[in-house]
């Protein structure tokens, strides 16, 4: 077994995170550069250090998860959601359930909440926001952001939903109330069900094709009939019908009855 393969096995045993389901070339490159930066010549000695030093383990987890996010990321797609997808989706619905999977710092579920607040009574909205990274979920719950994360937020929404203090923006409590943040590993945990909309963006690109196939299947099973799956802007599904999905608009897929 290679040094890296051995490392994958040890990390899985310790953290339950299976690095073999992430594309190897990119992941190995990221982790090798981190390992070199910390002065270890191979993965075996790096693992021994990680095993003993929680700060180093946290740094490793931070690097492998890639937490970059922002509000209204790829804003044109959010306009399509707002103007075309949501009006149909919420029509005649007394309740709407949404899952923001791999939500990182929360920019994505809060973006969804802001959009929906203009369209329906928020007591009818529930958003589950999940990520594998517990630390990032704590930050998401706090809802404090720098200017950079807000660069695409329309002014009216910025004024309405953020308070500004000391160069930082804090999200409105009313939005927090409709969101439940929870740890969830897309590669190993059972998938919750019954969602009208699932948003999962900018994480599937890191997974192997085999892992993606299983994830698409599970997301499809988590959607109600006519429910919509919204993916990232480099994450088209090439054979949506294999998962009972049909293309609704670029990067939006709708589940149909079998």
Ligand X SMILES: C[S@@+](CC[C@H](N)C(=O)[O-])C[C@H]1O[C@@H](n2cnc3c(N)ncnc32)[C@H](O)[C@@H]1O
Q: Least distance from C-beta 123 to ligand X, angstroms?
A: 26
- Three-state DSSP class for 99? strand
Contact 201, 237 (CB under 8 A): no
Residue 40 or 215: the one with the smaller Cβ distance to ligand X is: 215
Identified binder of ligand X from the candidate list 43, 81, 104, 129, rule CB under 6 A: 104
Which of the ranges 100-108, 172-180, 222-230, 235-243 carries the binding residues for ligand X, by CB under 6 A? 100-108
Closest of 50, 54, 56, 61 to residue 19, by C-alpha: 61
Please, which of residues 110-149 interact with ligand X by CB under 6 A? Answer: 131-133, 136
Site string for ligand X, 215-234 (x = CB under 6 A): -----------------x--
* Separation between Cα atoms, residue 112 and residue 126, nearest integer Å: 11
Residue 149 or 178: the one with the smaller Cβ distance to ligand X is: 149
Using CB atoms within 10 A of its CB, is residue 147 exposed (0-12), middle (13-18) or buried (19+)?
A: exposed
Contact 96, 90 (CB under 8 A): yes
Count of residues touching ligand X (by CB under 6 A):
22
Closest of 200, 205, 65, 30 to residue 135, by C-alpha: 65
- Three-state DSSP class for 172? coil
Q: Find residue 183's DSSP bridge partners.
A: 131
Residue 186 or 197: the one with the smaller Cβ distance to ligand X is: 186
* Separation between Cα atoms, residue 155 and residue 149, nearest integer Å: 14
Q: Least distance from C-beta 182 to ligand X, angstroms?
A: 11
Beta strands in the chain (DSSP E): 96-101, 125-131, 144-145, 162-165, 168-171, 179-183, 195-200, 223-231, 245-249, 252-255
Beta strands in 42-111 (DSSP E): 96-101
CA angle 82, 220, 61 (to 5 degrees): 85
Q: Least distance from C-beta 54 to ligand X, angstroms?
A: 18
Identified binder of ligand X from the candidate list 102, 140, 237, 245, rule CB under 6 A: 102
9 φ/ψ angles, rounded to the nearest 5 degrees: -65, -45
Which of the ranges 49-57, 201-209, 215-223, 238-246 carries the binding residues for ligand X, by CB under 6 A? 201-209
203 contributes a contact to ligand X by CB under 6 A: yes
Please, which of residues 14-73 interact with ligand X by CB under 6 A? Answer: 65-69, 73
196 contributes a contact to ligand X by CB under 6 A: no
Please, which of residues 165-194 interact with ligand X by CB under 6 A? Answer: 185-187
11 contributes a contact to ligand X by CB under 6 A: no
Residue 40 or 178: the one with the smaller Cβ distance to ligand X is: 178
Residue ranges binding ligand X (CB under 6 A): 65-69, 73, 102-104, 107-108, 131-133, 136, 185-187, 201-203, 232
């Amino acid at each position: 077994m290679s040094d890296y393969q051995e490392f994958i096995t040890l990390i899985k045993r310790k953290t339950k995170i299976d690095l073999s389901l992430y594309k190897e070339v990119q992941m190995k490159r990221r982790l090798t550069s981190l390992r070199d930066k910390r002065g270890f010549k191979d993965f075996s000695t790096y693992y021994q250090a990680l095993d003993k030093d929680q700060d180093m383990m946290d740094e490793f987890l931070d690097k492998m998860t890639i937490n970059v996010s922002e509000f209204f990321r790829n804003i044109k797609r959010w306009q399509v959601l707002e103007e075309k997808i949501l009006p149909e989706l919420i029509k005649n619905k007394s309740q709407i359930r949404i899952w923001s999977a791999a939500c990182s710092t929360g920019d994505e579920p809060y973006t969804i909440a802001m959009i929906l607040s203009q369209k329906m009574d928020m007591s009818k909205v529930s958003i589950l926001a999940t990520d594998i990274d517990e630390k990032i979920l704590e930050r998401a719950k706090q809802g404090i952001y720098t200017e950079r994360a807000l660069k695409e937020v329309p002014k009216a929404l910025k004024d309405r939903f953020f308070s500004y203090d000391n160069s930082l923006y804090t999200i409105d409590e009313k939005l927090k109330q409709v969101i439940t943040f929870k740890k969830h590993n897309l590669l190993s945990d059972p998938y919750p069900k019954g969602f009208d909309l699932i948003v999962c963006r900018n994480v599937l690109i890191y997974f192997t094709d085999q892992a993606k196939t299983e994830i698409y299947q599970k997301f499809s099973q988590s959607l109600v009939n006519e429910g919509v799956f919204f993916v990232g802007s480099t994450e088209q599904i090439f054979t949506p019908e294999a998962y009972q999905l049909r293309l609704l608009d670029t990067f939006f897929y709708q589940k149909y009855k079998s």
